[in-house]
Chains A and B, each alone.
Chain A
């Protein structure tokens, strides 16, 4: 009796409460906790940090000073870069760009991929055409496509988001299509057709909900990889314009001063690693949780 997706009570038996949820799902909790700290910092950036753009050559390459850490006016909590800009402020403001790119790419590519995948999986004729297009897209390295797109237009956050989204779509389409192909053969689809449901109803009401669990998991991985790709593009100078603080831009500019001022690269680098780790932990936890076969084994 293998079921693809049963609704799962996330907390386990009722009444067991939050503590049991934490104990059963450490990866989800750790991932979500780390991520919410970063999200909170990013959201609170204007209130807890100074201006990330202010250039103060007098104060350049100051080392981190953790005293009076909670004073928002202090510019060298994480030290300053070669132009005297506040690393703390730039790191936090950079989180905004990273998270925005990650979340937008995840949402856009999963929703586009979901739509294309549903139709490709259900209509066999469409499948042959769509999947060849997807194969072609997948044959192009994502970062090359992104560099080309950014080079053709002028680098900005929306362009970067678009450029990272396009190569992710085929992966989502493949996943969704695979789920649709298995779900459409299951008897409840015949049952739905036998009561007179139209194809659109069958697709959106009966098949779509079955794709959500794997899709959520895939979305977290896409989010993490989009953040990394954005940083990579910025590092290569093919992403967001250099004056806008992003972790990739910061790392790119800091590498010249690596020996003299390692903090300039440490903080954005560490943040990047932590966010990607947090999202991946969350994704792993969700995958275990949302896959009933795995979830049952772990109970």
Chain B
């Protein structure tokens, strides 16, 4: 594991939002790494800090409100947080690309698809208009849009949701980035289209050798596509493990809760009612002294409520931040 230098190493990242109601600790001391070519899944429910983590890496937080208050984000050895705005622009779309959740609104309605795909190529590779167009066509063909040459001049409203997400993928991969951050790329799509998009992403990732950081709230998506998984809760990482290990042997009560809230096929499981996790996500504006999950956890005791558990390694690469890790529920 230590043989190869990680592509991206995030260390103790803290991103806070300064709002009129107080400071929200959206990301509160998150550390992880992404190896070259690997697919890392980040899961957690809405508001757990997954997207903010991604935006922090690219420094795309809403200006003035969102601020990275601590930690480092080193990408290929350089700390992105120290880079100038201009140097950061050279990274975005070129070395690290991002796919957003909403394909319906992530494309500019008044520019043609071809122009939008060509934009990154023109910015980062200084390609001529003709070259950029040729590259856009190539990318469009790569994401399996039929009649690519003709559709370059079409506008976003002439594409379906799945097709638009393909276009977004084409845009993101047009400069051969080392890291692709996909922020819930399939959430807004039909189930059948979701699978197509995920398969396409994995196929292209394999072909280009890019690492992928897949942010999602859907565990099945992670199971299908990722090598390693990070589970986030209330701005912190509660568990991280290789994907099979996580599904076979979830250590954190939150992860277990997530899993038992998903329906499974199979005769034995069918009779069982789905269980939900009681309670709601804690208010991130108030300091949380102990484990953030303690109020919703059936196993929590006084120690859990007063002392924050560290993320410690249990078995080969499987870490969990829980005093009761693995204890029977």
Contact = CB atoms under 8 A, between A and B. Distances in A.
Interface of A: 1, 3-7, 124, 186-188, 190-198, 201, 205-206, 209-210
Contacts of A196: 89-94, 120, 123-124
B143 interface: no
A195 B123 contact: yes
A6 B124 CA distance: 28
B108 A188 contact: yes
Contact of A209 (B97, B111, B123, B168): B111
A192 B108 contact: yes
B136 to A, nearest CB: 13
Q: Which 10 A-B pairs have the closest CB atoms?
A: A195-B93, A209-B110, A196-B93, A195-B120, A196-B92, A188-B108, A187-B105, A187-B106, A191-B106, A196-B89
Give the residue among B60, B89, B110, B155 with the most A Cβ atoms within 10 A: B110
A205 B120 contact: no
Give the residue among A192, A194, A206 with the most B Cβ atoms within 10 A: A194
B100 interface: yes
A221 B61 CA distance: 39
B110 A190 contact: no
B284 interface: no
Contacts of B104: 1
B181 to A, nearest CB: 9
B60 A194 contact: yes
A194 B97 contact: yes
A7 B110 contact: yes
Interface of B: 58, 60, 63-64, 89-94, 97-98, 100, 102, 104-111, 119-120, 123-124, 155, 157, 168, 171-172
A4 B109 CA distance: 8
Given A1-B104, A196-B123, A205 B111 contact: yes
A296 to B, nearest CB: 12
B96 to A, nearest CB: 9
A209 B111 CA distance: 8
A7 B120 CA distance: 23
Nearest to A2: B105
A4 B156 CA distance: 13
Contacts of B89: 196-198
A84 B63 CA distance: 69
A190 B100 contact: yes
B111 A206 contact: yes
A195 B97 contact: yes
5 contacts: A187-B100, A187-B102, A194-B92, A194-B93, A194-B100
Contacts of A6: 109, 155, 157
B189 to A, nearest CB: 14
Given A197-B119, A205-B111, A188 B105 contact: yes
A207 B155 CA distance: 16
Nearest to A185: B62
A154 to B, nearest CB: 44
Contacts of B97: 194-195
A114 to B, nearest CB: 15
A257 B120 CA distance: 69
Given A7-B155, A193-B60, A194-B92, A210 B120 contact: no
Contacts of B108: 188, 192, 206, 209-210
Contacts of B155: 6-7
Contacts of B92: 193-196
Nearest to B90: A196
Contacts of A187: 100, 102, 105-106
A210 B155 CA distance: 14
Given A194-B92, A196-B89, A198-B89, A188 B157 contact: no
Contacts of B172: 195
A4 B105 CA distance: 11
Nearest to A206: B108
Contacts of A186: 105
A190 B89 CA distance: 13
A7 B171 CA distance: 21
B111 A191 contact: no
Give the residue among B123, B168, B172 with the most A Cβ atoms within 10 A: B123
Contacts of A195: 92-93, 97, 119-120, 123, 171-172
A78 B124 CA distance: 67
Nearest to A205: B111
B110 A194 contact: no
Contact of A192 (B91, B102, B105, B119): B119
A143 to B, nearest CB: 37
Contacts of A194: 58, 60, 92-93, 97-98, 100
Given A4-B109, A124-B64, 14 more contacts: A7-B109, A124-B63, A187-B100, A187-B106, A188-B108, A190-B100, A192-B119, A193-B60, A194-B58, A195-B97, A195-B120, A196-B90, A205-B111, A209-B111
Contacts of A3: 109, 157
Contacts of A7: 109-110, 155, 157
A272 to B, nearest CB: 36
Contacts of B64: 124
Nearest to A207: B108
